[in-house]
A and B are shown apart, each in its own frame.
Chain A
Amino acid sequence: MNFAEAVIEARESGRVEVLIDQIPYAQMIGVQGQLVGDEALFLLPSNKDNVGNPILPALHGGVIGGFMETSAALHLLLFMDRPKIPAIIDFSIDYLRTGQLRNTFAECQVHRQGRRVANVAVTAWQTHRDVPIATGRVHFRL
């Protein structure tokens, strides 16, 4: 199955893992995803390999960022009219709380999707949706 076929398969079956299985980096950090109605929820299961601060321990800030970027790209692939791998233009992340070594969730909101560019906001949390550990914004070229 090539990537375009995987996108169609994931959208039709609602199985986000079909898409994730194609992306080595997403597999390495352990990203999972689930379609919930017309929304998508992404999960990064607790994994010691993703730690950045072993004393606390806390997740690596880069992994939290990578998880959020992956979520944003997957979100677009799952919901765009004409799915194509989006190319990242820039990424900005604000770290609000320590990412504990536990399950992390991410949700995306597409603020604007034009013909050329998409603006996607991502929120990551662990215990409660309204207690985010990080918020981010990604611009993609479509």
Chain B
Amino acid sequence: MSRIIPDEQVLDTVAKQFLAALPHSVKLGMTIMEIDFSSVTVQLPWSEQIVGNPETGVVHSGVLTTLMDTACGICSICALANVEACPTLDLRIDHMKVPVSGKPLYATVEPYRVTKSIVFTRGTAWQESPDDPIAHAVGTFMRLGPLAAIKKDKSKSKQGEES
């Protein structure tokens, strides 16, 4: 497959545009901290709306699921050096310790294997240091091919319906 994204500066721009187009990730305020062809780090700021446990004020596990799904999805762009439609096949999150409330969350993930049809990703969520993870995630993504080709297909079939 051709490498459409030539360098890490372009990768950074493309990944930021990709993230900006995900309404729910934008609502949670996620931003890309660091990205290269082998990994990405996404930040999620603290806000009162993400609390899951009203007794302790700890973040809801669903927020971590969303953070990891987003970061793993973005890291498929790193692996492919292209923006492909890659829906999540499955995701597994292990919660290793209780997050500290009031502090931002980070996810650092890597694509550890890419095949013709699948991107395998893994990573951790952390707060103080990547070496002290609060959660570990493994996600599998299906490659549907370049986004542009899919859009073209869709518009073709729409035209077909209309005519």
Q: Which residues of A line the B interface, CB within 8 A?
A: 2-3, 22-29, 48-55, 60-63, 65-67, 69-70, 85, 87-95, 98
In addition to A88-B61, A91-B95, A95-B90, 6 A-B residue pairs with Cβ atoms within 8 Å of each other are: A23-B52, A26-B52, A28-B49, A54-B21, A61-B66, A91-B92
> Is A92 within 8 A of B90, CB to CB?
yes
Contacts of B49 in A (CB 8 A): 24-25, 27-28
Q: Which of B5-13, B23-31, B119-127 contacts A (4 or more CB under 8 A)?
A: B23-31
Chain B interface: which size bin? Answer: 35 or more
Chain B 81-123 near chain A by CB (<8 Å), digits 1 or 0: 0000001111111110010000000000000000000000000
Contacts of B50 in A (CB 8 A): 24-25, 28
Q: Which residues of B line the A interface, CB within 8 A?
A: 21-25, 27, 48-55, 59-63, 65-70, 73, 87-95, 98, 151
A93 to B94, CA, bound (A): 12
Question: A48 with B23: in contact, given A85-B53, A90-B95 (CB under 8 Å)?
Answer: yes
Contacts of B65 in A (CB 8 A): 62, 65-66, 69, 91, 93
